[in-house]
Amino acid sequence: MVKSYRPYSPEQSYLLPPSPREWLPAGHLAYFILGLLGELDLGAIERAVQAKDPRGERPYSPQMMTSLLLYAYATGVYSSRRIARACVEDVAFRVLAAGEQPHFTTMNQFRAAHLEALSGLFVQVVKACQSEGLVRLGHVAIDGTKMKANASKHKAMSYERMQKDDVRLRAEIQEWFERAQAIDEEEDKAEGDGGTYDPQEEIRRREERLAKMARVREALKKEVAEARAARLREQAEELRKKAEDMTRTPSKRAEAATLAKKRDHQASLFDDDDDIDPPPPSADADLPRNVPPHRPDGTPKPEAQRNFTDPDSRIMLRDGAFIQAYNAQLAVDEEHQIIVAAAVSNQAPDAQYLEPMLRRMVQTCDAIPDRITADSGYFSAASVHFAEHIGTEPFISVGKHKNDGTQADELLLPQHRSAAKLEMRALLDTERGRQAYARRKATVEPVFGQIRAARRFAQFSFRGLVKNRCEWLLVCATHNVLKLWRALRDRPPALPAAA
């Protein structure tokens, strides 16, 4: 007996109009995102679109474009070309696009134009997770990772190297002019007028390189000068507070007032134009920012570096290798691994990130966690004091840990001793301290694995600190969307109320 097959007719037309709700299984992520969009506020994107000239081709729906980006980032698709291709080949993308097929340049332009508004969805998604009971703030772990920038470390150059290359290129340009003159004279003697040799391409290439280095060098000098001026103004403010402190002697207060005026004058020397007001502080002004090494007079030191492709990025160490990167920070709630705060900056050490991350967490969740954990890179007496001041209990490592979870004996050395470190070490040596700190790895580090390995987000797509901060918030928002979707999908249905 011949075995029969299931019916297969690839040319068969639909007998009834198909419904997109039947293309994917019930509870699919694409359907969840469509439902979630009804709860999110896309007003910032809508206003930006409506502010444009109404003439011309009608734009795609902001809801459609946002749903495509949310689903793409949630499933590890970050290229605008791959998103556009998926709108043709992938069923889930076709459901979200409702049959539309936006060009990849349209996807890229929408993401770039509304990146800040898209990053604002992070807070809204956290609020949605809170309303569903996924955020408890019993324990929050803070950690960072060095995320590769969209630039090569080989495009970074030190200030000293720039100066040397400047001299070398000028000499080569002069040499090419002299060589061209000599060849012209030889060709004129041999062939008369009308020689064919033209060195202008070599000269042009070197002149362009020279001009580019000059722009980068000036930008580096301006950056360190602004940083030096900001530091002088901070010192002046601290001195003014001392001058107003009535507990100090009159001579000490007068000396502080004099020094404050001196610091203000020194800072004013770095200003290009006193009539131009400084830009208003950004929302991320409290984050630490790396400043290239510079001298007291505000000029770069020879080892100060700047990347030609992404000047805001820095060379950082990750897994034993140096990469051009940013420091991406996360604060993760233990209950469902919901990211409750996120930030990006170009300062490689983590020590100065704890306070701004706690501020973001409190601002986003309108609540204070019971306890926080962080590794030894975050420890400082000031960070511990701030955490205790806002009402959370910090468990921050003060050194390396052994395989059994106990702390190494580094603090036995005199150079590692301080009152704050000894007090924190004593807390972590208790049973309660060991149990609290042991949850750090199981809370925040899996989230980095889910983002970098499972969703393949290994490098920023944009260049510049502000744009990459926005993209990191979008990545974290889609992480939370996935957690929210899985939690609601696996939640048992509520029992009907008794009559």
Q: Are the C-beta atoms of residues 142 and 498 closer than 8 Å to each other?
A: no
| β partners of residue 316 | 323
- The confidence score (pLDDT) of residue 275 equals 42
List the structure tokens of 208. 């362009």
Confidence of residue 65 (pLDDT cuts 50, 70, 90): very high
Residue 396 and residue 377: Cα distance in Å, rounded? Answer: 9
Say yes or no to pLDDT of 277 above 90.
no
Say yes or no to pLDDT of 278 above 60.
no
Mean pLDDT of 454-477: 94
- The confidence score (pLDDT) of residue 66 equals 95
Fill in the DSSP letter of residue 153. Answer: G
| β partners of residue 146 | 327
List the structure tokens of 219. 């930008």
| β partners of residue 407 | 401
Q: What is the pLDDT of residues 4-20, one digit of tens each?
A: 666 767 777 776 667 88
CA quadruple 49, 55, 60, 61: dihedral, nearest 10: 50
- The confidence score (pLDDT) of residue 337 equals 95
Say yes or no to pLDDT of 274 above 50.
no
Percent of the chain with pLDDT over 70: 86
Mean pLDDT of 316-340: 94
Q: What is the pLDDT of residues 152-186, one digit of tens each?
A: 988 888 777 777 777 777 777 777 667 766 766 67
- Phi, psi values for residue 307, rounded to 5°: -90, 135
Mean pLDDT of 305-320: 88
Say yes or no to pLDDT of 497 above 60.
no
- The confidence score (pLDDT) of residue 116 equals 93
- The confidence score (pLDDT) of residue 406 equals 61
- The confidence score (pLDDT) of residue 495 equals 56
Q: What is the pLDDT of residues 97-119, one digit of tens each?
A: 988 999 999 999 999 999 999 99
- The confidence score (pLDDT) of residue 441 equals 92
- The confidence score (pLDDT) of residue 167 equals 73
- The confidence score (pLDDT) of residue 195 equals 53
Confidence of residue 244 (pLDDT cuts 50, 70, 90): confident
- The confidence score (pLDDT) of residue 276 equals 44
- The confidence score (pLDDT) of residue 413 equals 60
Task: Say which residue, 53 or 216, is predicted with more confidence.
Answer: 53
Percent of the chain with pLDDT over 90: 51
Mean pLDDT of 257-280: 65
- The confidence score (pLDDT) of residue 405 equals 55
pLDDT, mean over the chain: 84
User: E strand or H helix at 406, and its extent?
Assistant: none
Say yes or no to pLDDT of 74 above 80.
yes
Beta-carbon contacts of residue 153 (< 8 Å; ≥ 6 apart): 307, 315, 322, 323, 324
Say yes or no to pLDDT of 311 above 80.
yes
Say yes or no to pLDDT of 193 above 70.
no
Residue 120 and residue 114: Cα distance in Å, rounded? Answer: 10
- The confidence score (pLDDT) of residue 112 equals 94
Say yes or no to pLDDT of 498 above 60.
no
Mean pLDDT of 34-49: 92
SS3 call for 147: strand
